[in-house]
Amino acid sequence: MLPFRAAIFDMDGTLTQSTHIWDGVTDRYIEQLGHPLPEHYYQRIQGRTYEQAMAWLIALYGLNKTPGQMVFEQYQMIRNRYCAVPLKPGVLPFLQYLKGEGIPCAVATLADPRVAKEVLGAHGLLPYFAAVVSAVELDDKPKSDPAVFLEAATRLQTPAGDCAVFEDSLLAVETAKGAGFRTAAIADGKNAAQWDRLCALADWALHDYRELIPAAE
């Protein structure tokens, strides 16, 4: 039996192999609007959510758009590819196992809720989640703030200490751990340089979700 009563999953890089999917999208999008991407843009927006980054560009260029509109328009540029990215190894068997054990699950993501639900739906994963919580619904708080995890735990009616948070981001694992959650680090191409630190910090470090399914099952 697993030592938690509820599970909370990030989406990109945790459920889906999609951390690369936004690479270069903002560059192309801003160029289509007639502006260059600002110098050192990605260093300047570190620590911000996607919508916060768009708000910065709106202020910089005086764009007549909302941050949410800009994010969704960029999503439309990659929609087909995004909905077709592979799942992380073992995701579906693990979700099926959790459902069979009566362990409720939620998604906690920085993604626009419309995007998250469409991508999860395209993979047939929505029925496994009792809630999909987006930071966009919580004043766009980044994952340096535990708000999105705490809201997911609330919707699952389970205290943080009885929930496991599955994440590929070192920052998110640190945040969840600091808020009292159990944590599982999920290997991804973009966290290879931080993998040793993730292994030392998280309760579990996984390359395949089936590693957590008891052998007897």
Q: Where are the domains of the chain?
A: 6-18+87-212, 25-84
Q: SS3 string of the chain?
A: CCCCCEEEECCECCCECCCCCCCCHHHHHHHHCCCCCCCCHHHHCCCCCHHHHHHHHHHHHCCCCCHHHHHHHHHHHHHHHHHHCCECCCHHHHHHHHHHCCCCEEEEECCCHHHHHHHHHHCCCHHHCCEEEEHHHHCCCCCCCCHHHHHHHHHCCCCHHHEEEEECCHHHHHHHHHCCCEEEEECCHHHHHHHHHHHHHCCEEECCHHHHCCCCC
pTM of the complete model? 0.92
| pLDDT value for 92 | 97
State pLDDT tens for residues 122-143. 999 999 999 999 998 998 888 9
**Overall residue count recorded for the chain in this entry:** 217
d(CA 163, CA 144): 18
State pLDDT tens for residues 150-191. 999 999 999 999 999 999 999 999 999 999 999 999 999 999
Read off the pLDDT of each residue in 63-67 and give the average, rounded to a whole number. 95
With a cut of 90, say whether residue 107 has pLDDT above it.
yes
d(CA 50, CA 129): 24
Nearest to 4 by CA among 145, 152, 181, 138: 181
Give the tokens for residue 172. Answer: 């998110």
d(CA 168, CA 11): 9
| pLDDT value for 49 | 83
Calculate what percentage of the chain has a pLDDT beyond 90: 85
Of 110 and 9, the structure prediction assigns the larger pLDDT to 9
Of 185 and 51, the structure prediction assigns the larger pLDDT to 185
Confidence of residue 120 (pLDDT cuts 50, 70, 90): very high
Look at phi and psi of residue 156 and say left if phi exceeds 0, alpha if psi is from -120 to 50, else beta: alpha
For 6-18+87-212, the fitting CATH number among 3.40.50.1000, 3.40.50.10470, 3.30.70.20, 3.40.50.970 is 3.40.50.1000
With a cut of 70, say whether residue 145 has pLDDT above it.
yes
Give the tokens for residue 126. Answer: 């929505």
| pLDDT value for 42 | 87
| pLDDT value for 217 | 43
Nearest to 10 by CA among 193, 162, 169, 130: 169
Rg over CA atoms, the chain:
17
d(CA 173, CA 209): 17
Read off the pLDDT of each residue in 57-79 and give the average, rounded to a whole number. 94
Task: Indicate the average pLDDT of the chain.
Answer: 94
